[in-house]
Amino acid sequence: FVHAKQWRALATRYDKLAITYRAGATLSACLTWLRA
């Protein structure tokens, strides 16, 4: 969850569209998985 601090827009959900929110969540999950 340490890497989630870099994705503060996801935590606060600044994006109004659900598809944009989901894309950001998927992107951050993929990047976290690739780093591991």
Amino acid at 33: W
CB 28 within 8 A of CB 7: yes
- The 3-state DSSP class for residue 13 equals coil
Q: For residues 36 and 30, give the distance between their C-alpha atoms in angstroms, rounded to a whole number.
A: 10
> The domain containing residue 29 runs over which residues?
2-35
Closest to 10 measured CA to CA, from 34, 35, 29: 29
HSE-up of 8 (CA within 13 Å, CB side)? Answer: 2
* pLDDT, tens only, 1-36: 556 666 666 666 666 777 777 887 888 889 889 987
pTM: 0.56
If one counts the domains in the chain, the total is 1
